[in-house]
Amino acid sequence: MPPFQRTSLLKRIFASKITLLLIACNVAVYGVAGFLDSRAFESLSQTSFLIDWGGNVPALTLSGEYWRLFTSMFLHIGFLHLAINMLALWSLGIILEARMRSGVFLGVYLLSGLCGSLVTALWHRDEFFLSCGASGAILGIFGAAIVYGLHDRRMGRPHIPPGNLLFSLVLTFGAGFAFDVDNAAHLGGLLSGALLAGIALYAERLRPVTAAVVLAATGTLSAVALAAVTLDNHDRDMQEQLAAAQFGRTLGKMGLLGSDQALWKASSLDECIAAALSAAVRDGSQTSDLRGCAKPGDRDLALLARFMPQQYERCHAQIAGLRKLYPAAAAQEALTAADQYCELQTRLYGAVFQKDAAELDPEKARQTRLKMNFLLDTRGMYRTDSAQLRAQAAALKAILRRPGELALAVISRSGCPYWSCER
């Protein structure tokens, strides 16, 4: 290749560096996420994969997981979805980025994408909706390209080829129709991109320092406005419901809400632990050897040894969150009892699967487990004269009844360890 051709190619690549970087980021996220999580390529598990990796689910986003507004911009449903969006971005980016400053181009892309994500979250806040993809940001670039193209045509300068605009539009909306249209993200991205482009064009008429101040102020104010609208629409009610639904799901896997929800063989192992503790209490023993509950070579028990401690760790974290959302005294006491139970179960699992017998107080362990069973008893199997315990039981059951259909749907479709999911 002649030297002048290499120089021309390098100039074109440098002029499109942000476009290439954005395409590389989208492709990298798709490749790395797919490599680390096989659910990316399984149709039955793709919803849970997208939720777990940062898809924009309005109920989750507006209840405090604001980072989903950003992460959802780099997630795609499949290779075709990714390829179509990246072709659309390339067809416009290589032209528009050369026309405007690279920093401004990046700002328009990111702010348009965030605006599109926020509009989606607000529009679909009362339903289960999952949005992901770069189309909102690409529509922002499309809106900016229209503004720049019309301006340049009016000024008699070389303008953005209409063919590139049409090609990008067809690709973006084609992807939308193929993978469900997120019109809210498209509209939010398009309008915000056009507005930001208008400000950028105005800045071109100013002196460099003044233009830099205007552009920096625009970016800052836009980000502040997006944050303000997001925080103003924080859904405390849904946050409470989701936290309770997550906690209920964890308790169910632990076998506390019925054996039908428990992880495989978790209930039978728990029965063995209960029997061993009761036997130790009857014999007056100060310790209990629980290693007999673990049968050598049992693959299912080996999986429980690996994954159940994760449930108990999750239980600790969820209770810490619930304490902030349910400040009533009875609820706090019930959550303390639940936290003590999860801590005990972690130690009991260690005692079951370790080589040496653990130092445990059988009576204290038995009472902690009985108290938790009483707090969650719905069939009247346990009795007490303590009004305080009855109040705690009522408070804990009220928390578990808190989730509505939407919260339960979101949590049920979220991910879980592959071996324990129903397929």
pTM above 0.85, yes or no: yes
pLDDT in tens, the chain (423 residues): 554 444 455 666 666 799 999 999 999 999 999 888 888 888 778 888 999 999 999 999 999 999 999 999 999 988 888 998 898 899 889 889 988 888 999 999 999 999 999 999 999 999 999 999 998 999 999 899 989 988 888 887 766 776 667 776 776 666 556 566 778 888 899 999 999 999 999 999 999 999 999 999 999 999 999 999 999 999 999 999 999 999 999 999 888 888 778 888 888 888 888 888 888 888 877 777 788 888 888 888 888 888 888 889 999 999 999 999 999 999 999 999 999 999 999 999 888 888 666 678 888 999 999 999 999 988 878 888 899 999 999 999 999 999 999 999 999 998 754 434 443
φ and ψ at residue 56, rounded to 5 degrees:
-85, 100
Q: Which member of 135, 168, 222, 288 is catalytic?
A: 135
C-alpha 236/C-alpha 321 separation (Å) is 13
Q: Which member of 76, 81, 124, 186 is catalytic?
A: 186
- State whether the Cα torsion 244-245-250-251 is positive or negative: positive
For this structure, is 135 an active site residue?
A: yes
Which residue, among 195, 107, 215, 187, has the nearest Cα to 146 in the 3D structure? Answer: 195
62, 125 contact by CB (below 8 A): yes
C-alpha 321/C-alpha 16 separation (Å) is 45
For this structure, is 159 an active site residue?
A: no
268, 328 contact by CB (below 8 A): no
| DSSP letter for each residue of 89-152 | HHHHHHHHHHHS-HHHHHHHHHHHHHHHHHHHHHHTTTS---B-SSHHHHHHHHHHHHHHHHHH
C-alpha 87/C-alpha 277 separation (Å) is 64
